[in-house]
Chains A and B, each alone.
Chain A
Amino acid sequence: MSDNILEIKNLTKIFSNDLLKRKQSAITDLTCHFPQGKCTGLLGHNAAGKTSTIRGILGLLKPSQGEILFKGKPLDQKMRRYIGYMPETNKLAGNLSPAEVLKSHMSIFRPPKISSNQYKDICNAKLKEVGLWDHRNKLISKLSKGMGRRLAWAQATIHSPELIILDEPFSGLDPLGRQHMATWIKEIKNSGASIILCTHELWALFNLCDEYHILKNSKLVYSTIDPYHGQDDHEPVETEFILELSGTSSSEIQKLLELHRLPSWRKYLTEGYLQKLFFDDWTETKKWLQIITETDIMVVGFHQSRQQEEDRILTFFDGGLH
Chain B
Amino acid sequence: MKAIWPVATETMLRLRRDKILTPAIVISILIILLASVTGHWAIEEFTKVLFDIGTAGFQFAGSMVAIFWGTKCISDAKREGSLEVQLSSPISRQQWIVGKFFGLTFTLLLVGLIIMLNFQLVLIYWDLGLLSINQLVIFGYIFLSWLVLGSLAIWLATITSNAIAIFSSMFLWFLGLVSNPIANTLNPDTPESTRWLIETFARLWDLQQFNLSSFAVNPNSFPTQEELINLAIYGVCLICIMISGGSLAFQNRDIIAD
Residues on A facing B (Cβ under 8 Å): 15, 55, 58-62, 77-81, 83, 85, 87, 89, 91-96, 100, 104-105, 107-110, 155
Q: Say yes or no for B255: interface residue by CB 8 A criterion.
A: yes
Q: Is the CB of B85 within 8 A of A77?
A: no
Q: Is the CB of B88 within 8 A of A107?
A: no
Give the contacting residue for A81; candidates B13, B14, B87, B90; CB below 8 A.
B90
Give the contacting residue for B85; candidates A62, A81, A87; CB below 8 A.
A87
Interface positions, chain B 6-58, Cβ under 8 Å from A, are 6-7, 9-10, 13-14, 17-18
Q: Is the CB of A92 within 8 A of B80?
A: yes
Q: Is the CB of B6 within 8 A of A107?
A: yes
> Which B residues are in CB contact (< 8 Å) with A62?
252-254
Give the contacting residue for B9; candidates A77, A87, A89, A104; CB below 8 A.
A104
Q: Is the CB of A104 within 8 A of B88?
A: no
> Which A residues are in CB contact (< 8 Å) with B14?
93, 95-96
CB distance from B152 to the nearest CB of A (A): 23
Give the contacting residue for B80; candidates A61, A77, A81, A94; CB below 8 A.
A94
CB distance from A21 to the nearest CB of B (A): 15
Q: Is the CB of A60 within 8 A of B87?
A: yes
Question: In the docked arrangement, what's the CA distance between A108 and B6, Å?
Answer: 6
Q: Is the CB of A87 within 8 A of B255?
A: no
Known: A100-B10, A100-B13, A104-B6. A91 touches B254 (CB 8 A): no
CB distance from A60 to the nearest CB of B (A): 4
Q: Is the CB of B87 within 8 A of A95?
A: no
> Which A residues are in CB contact (< 8 Å) with B18?
95
> Which B residues are in CB contact (< 8 Å) with A89?
81
Q: Is the CB of A108 within 8 A of B89?
A: yes
Question: In the docked arrangement, what's the CA distance between A55 and B14, Å?
Answer: 26
> Which B residues are in CB contact (< 8 Å) with A110?
2, 90
Q: Say yes or no for B5: interface residue by CB 8 A criterion.
A: yes
Taking CB as reference atom, which chain A residue is nearest B77?
A93
Taking CB as reference atom, which chain B residue is nearest A82?
B90
Question: In the docked arrangement, what's the CA distance between A85 and B90, Å?
Answer: 12
